[in-house]
Structure 1
């Protein structure tokens, strides 16, 4: 590579790569007279060094300076320029010597330890821009059902440092047990923590709209942020079936042990099954196909439930539904979450889609 003036200017500007820097330095060491035109009296006056030179190098420098003292007055400017040039080169040499010596000391001190370089944490974001629910698993074994127009963000690798998730929208979390790392979902001014459970968080517009946390199984604690704590809002523990609702405009929290019941028309009649009059509000299902369950509920509560024939093949459910403690819509949403189905209501009709 040819040593050009442009390359030398880049060298003094600190823009050269390692190979170019070595070539320019070697060139100046072989042709010190070429350095003079790039060094001014101002650079000499402003030159400082923060490191002591090794005795061998400083001795050579002192000898060179003493030899220059016999020059005549008319060469004073030149001598200062040469001295500044020598200072620049010796400073580079001293810095190289210092860094090499420091590196050797660090390597010796680090044996047999391993030096880990700190780096900025990396985060991953999952968005659901589709019209259906998106399900995926995390590296710790947890599963997330992310509803449309929702997004989550978490640090990677997930579970190595923490199990914290930031949510905007609505999602259901099936949490893998890990007593060492709690699973926490941050939504607005609330943080919901669980060790191993299933719960749903809704927070589409956390600054204005209601935030809700509904526990399906297990146990969770919902904690307010520091601002809400200062206002007297306390942490709340939920039991299965309970729902916490937070009003961000009022700063108030309410817990519903029995979700709000949907109005059931008075003229409801049983169509396919005989209802036990001793417990008319309770329906039980024993490994029944979902299509038959939905038909049964549709007739029982005189509500139209629409789903595509054949879409529910192989899907079954075992459990109970108590219409006095849970609304029909809430029960169907639970079945939907367990089977990755989208459940929504439109114009009085309940739609169930894949």
Structure 2
């Protein structure tokens, strides 16, 4: 016996990826529903590469009664209206938006990092998926924190345009094409030209000069991993279609060598260590795209602080940063609580 699973926001980048990963990982489902806004009603969507097609249902009229799990990839607006209705109908919501992440009654889960926190889901019948840049960061930090206790993290992100949805990907493509043929370049989705450029600005600015994306990394890392960790982030949009990269500087309470860290990361769940000190002996977003792992490279000691390390971290933001993590949460929920399939 399997689950009845609804994917809300099924026509977007993350929603489509959720459907693909459900099929790829052979998640035990008796039924799957693709749910989206009224303008997508009746549209046919393929479930991964299975050849199986499902017709989109209208979110406004969808009845969540009798459904076990709803994976929400619809943004904060629709989620605010429909996630509580789904939860009240007995359907467990796994939400990819930022809406519930800092709600004290909603677990914020990365299964390789804090699986036990999922036990608190019954308070709201809602589980939150973290921000894409946070998800890969905490997967890399967790085993090192267990070994030597992290005091402080300084991270600079290099985030792909797919983090801004289809509109971001379209803008990079259109601007790049326009530059090559001599057409004028117009910035619509981003604040400046993204083609052949980098933009140190993701989400809105806050009063202290940081952006909301940077704030998310700070507060979410504390909630998921350890509230005592101090973290400073600079988040940058780069002209890459898929895959977020991060340069991470870590200060520990206890001594840890680069070699020890490599040994720990090599055995850690969800991580692939690719760290050869030679040309090409590291991972870039192109290699990570389409994969579920968090890749770590360039692990080295930082001589400017006591017990310091620096590393490079890359992951597919549509997968581990969003869709895959949501499906992994559903798998964890099934193992610990729902127990079907």
Same fold (TM over 0.5): no
State which structure, 1 or 2, has the greater radius of gyration over its C-alpha atoms. 1
Q: Which has the higher helix share?
A: 2
TM-score w.r.t. the length of structure 1 is 0.26
Higher relative CO (CA 8 A, sep ≥ 6), structure 1 or 2? 2
TM-score w.r.t. the length of structure 2 is 0.26
